[in-house]
Amino acid sequence: MTTWLTSETNGFIPDFASLERAVKERRFDLVILNSPHNPTGMIYPGQALVSLIDTAETHSTRVLLDEAFVDYALPASLVSLAPTKSNLIVLRSLTKFYAMPGLRVGYAVSNARLAAAMQKQIDPWSVSTVALEAGRAALSEGEFAAETCRVNATAREEFAGALNDAGLKVFPSAANFLLAKLPQGSGADLQQWLERERILIRQCGSFEGLGDAFIRLAVRASPDNLRLVSLIEKWLSGSGDS
């Protein structure tokens, strides 16, 4: 397995030209991507992504595109492209956007031949009746989806601005979380300190290509976001408990 690292210097956007060359030269069986990307929240450029899919198709390479967070940026979804391609599988999740992780419900979209091959390899009862009913109800709530996207986008912009003002470097995100880089100190230490305040963040030192200064923060309601910023400022100033 080959991991394709992105870097802070180019905004964590993959070098799609190099990736296409690698597909041509190495003849991979499968390329796995996720957009919006986790943990950066980055949406990949649509034209570059489609070009990669086309190149992979001509070299008998399948592409698995995880769109677990794309409900926050639906115009970027390639789910409608999947049935037209021989090599593309798009994964979608209901657990992130609709806040029902315990039900573990999601789906894959591909052409009919690929779908039939996948169906043969999964359990007959892979999703419970309760999860199916919850998924059906969630997908019927168009007004909820539109309002959630609007509220999240507003809160995310305010949150990112406050974090920037506090001295953190915040990277563009299309999802319901932000990747930020601390100006000093350890993300692991901050994570541990915030747990005393009953706040959980994700320190990103375990992500290949990221260091301990990177943290991922969920976008919540404005009062929660601003409270977290205030606590991070307190910790950065050294006035938090050691």
Domain boundaries, the chain: 8-140, 143-237
Strand ranges in the chain using DSSP code E only, listed in sequence order: 30-34, 62-66, 88-93, 106-109, 169-170, 177-181, 202-203, 214-218
Q: Terminal CA-to-CA distance of the chain, rounded, Å?
A: 41
Cis peptide before 183 (omega within 30 of 0): no
Mean pLDDT throughout 8-36?
90
Contact 155, 149 (CB under 8 A): no
Residue 158: which pLDDT band, with cuts at 50, 70 and 90? very high
**For 194-213, what is each residue's pLDDT tens digit?**
999 999 999 998 888 899 99
Residue 5: which pLDDT band, with cuts at 50, 70 and 90? confident
Residue 37 confidence (pLDDT) above 90: yes
Contact 46, 71 (CB under 8 A): no
Secondary structure class of 15 (helix, strand, coil): coil
Could you give the CA distance from residue 5 to residue 187 in angstroms, rounded to a whole number? 21
Contact 59, 21 (CB under 8 A): no
Tell me the two tokens of residue 16: 């799609």
143-237 CATH pick, 3.40.720.10, 3.30.950.10, 3.40.1800.10, 3.90.1150.10: 3.90.1150.10
Residue 111 confidence (pLDDT) above 60: yes
Residue 242 confidence (pLDDT) above 60: no
Report pLDDT for 104.
84
**Stated pTM of the model:** 0.89
CATH number corresponding to 8-140: 3.40.640.10
Going by C-beta distance under 8 Å and a sequence separation of 6 or more, which residues neighbour residue 188? 203, 205, 212
**Measuring CA to CA, how many Å separate 142 from each of 51, 148, 150, 155?**
31, 10, 13, 20
